[in-house]
Every structure is written in structure tokens, then in C-alpha cells.
Amino acid sequence: MTQTEDLSEEYSLGYVRGFADTHGSLHLISPKATNNLAITFRSLDVLVLDELAKHLDVLGYEYKRYMQSPEENKQQQFMLRIHKQNEVRRFCEEVGFRRKDRAERARKFLAGIPT
């Protein structure tokens, strides 16, 4: 685990971008809101999200933590979500996604095209 004060913005940006492509999702908050997106990160290990939170703190993002109750035959999941639209927009502009599907959804969101 790293200390927040030891992290550079450049390193944190790369860390968060990689995490977003592997453990993140860019999705609609509600089916009725065609351009109201959230970015959600999931993990079975809360310590993994603790590390991500340190990097998001360095970059100045607002987020909330959630715990998803386990469904039958599944483990409990921990989530970290960026849901304020100005924060989602900033994330898409500054961090972005390398995965084509997420990058395209982010591009549409930034252009105001319903996703």
C-alpha cells in the first residue's frame, strides 16, 4: 500500500486509467436518463478499492463507497462510484478509457449524444 503523499498526479492518472479499463464500468444511472452516467469500480477485496481511492484523492475526484450484498452463491462485492455528472465529465476528459466500448460511450457522453 502506498501513502497518498508519496503519489504523483502523473502516476495516479496512469493507475486510475488502467484500473478503469480492467475493473471499471461507465453506465447509465437510470434507464430513463439517457445521458446520466456513473463510473463504477468493483472488487471482492476492499483493500484494492482503498488503493484506488488514494489515487482518486490525489487527482481530486469525489466518489462514494458502497457494499453490495452477496447474491446466492456469490461473494460480497465492494464498489466505489463517481456519479456527479461534472465529476464523470472530468474523468472522461482527464483520465479517459482505452477500451473501445467505454471510450466510445465517453465520447458520446461528452458530445451530449444519448448513450
CATH code where residue 44 lies = 3.10.28.10
Which DSSP category does 9 fall into?
Answer: H
- In this predicted structure, what is the pLDDT of residue 1? 56
Confidence class for position 68, pLDDT limits 50, 70, 90: confident
Number of structural domains in the chain: 1
Tell me which residue has cell 482527464: 94
What count of residues does the chain have?
A: 115
In a domain, 86, yes or no: yes
In a domain, 115, yes or no: no
pLDDT in tens, 36-49: 889 999 999 999 99
Domain assignment of residue 39, given as a range: 4-110
